[in-house]
Amino acid sequence: MSVISMTVNGKPASADIEARTLLVQFIREQLGLTGTHVGCDTSQCGACVVHVDGRAVKSCTMLAAQAEGAEILTIEGLAPNGELHPVQAAFREHHGLQCGFCTPGMIMTAVDMIRRIPDLDEETVREELEGNICRCTGYHNIVKAILAASQEMR
């Protein structure tokens, strides 16, 4: 066991954990932030995507210890004052979710791609969603929501 510390959604977080603790376990089980989901646990589905120092990563495929000292942003940190982030609002507006299981990862991936790519088009959005799987929507409304949010945030 050893103590690791990082900043999660702007607040300091630290815990005494086993080296084999995954970042997603630290977030969900130590911090109780269960908005980040574990879908496949094999790096395929993207339900666990969070931002580490501003970059989208799969938190099921990273040790908590690798994030020592890092700034982590989870879905809970997107709307700190209760007002939806533009990407969240666009997902609601465009029906970008059904069961909602993949949604936290989809939204964190969307926020990351909008930050990196100023002129998103449909093809690029679909390529960028390569690592996020949704089994309900058929992706059409997710793509619409991301394009709309991208316009809104420009």
Partner 1 sequence: MYQFNYERPKTLADAEALLAKSDDPKILAGGQTLIPTLKQRLAMPSDLIDIGGIKDLDFIRAEGDAVMIGAATRHAKVAQSAEVKKHNPALAALAAGIGDPAVRHMGTLGGSIANNDPAADYPAACLALDAKIHTTKRLIEADEFFKGMFETALQDGEIIKEVTFPHPEKAAYMKFRNPASRYAMVGVFVSKGPWGIRVAVTGAGQNGVFRVKEMEEALAKNWSPDAVANIKLPAKGLNADLHGSAEYRAHLVTVMAKRAVAAAG
Write out the residues near partner 1 by the rule CB under 8 A.
2, 18-20, 22, 41-44, 46, 49, 52, 55-58, 61-63, 65-66, 68, 109, 112-113, 128, 130-132
CB of 58 to partner 1, least distance (A): 5
Considering the complex, what minimum distance in angstroms separates the CB of residue 3 from partner 1?
A: 12
Q: Which helix (H) or strand (E) holds 149?
A: helix 140-153
Instruction: Say if CB 140 and CB 96 are below 8 A apart.
Output: no
Structure tokens at 100: 């909602």
Got the DSSP string for 1-19? -EEEEEEETTEEEEEEE-T
| Of residues 2 and 92, the one with the C-beta less far from partner 1 | 2
CB of 7 to partner 1, least distance (A): 17
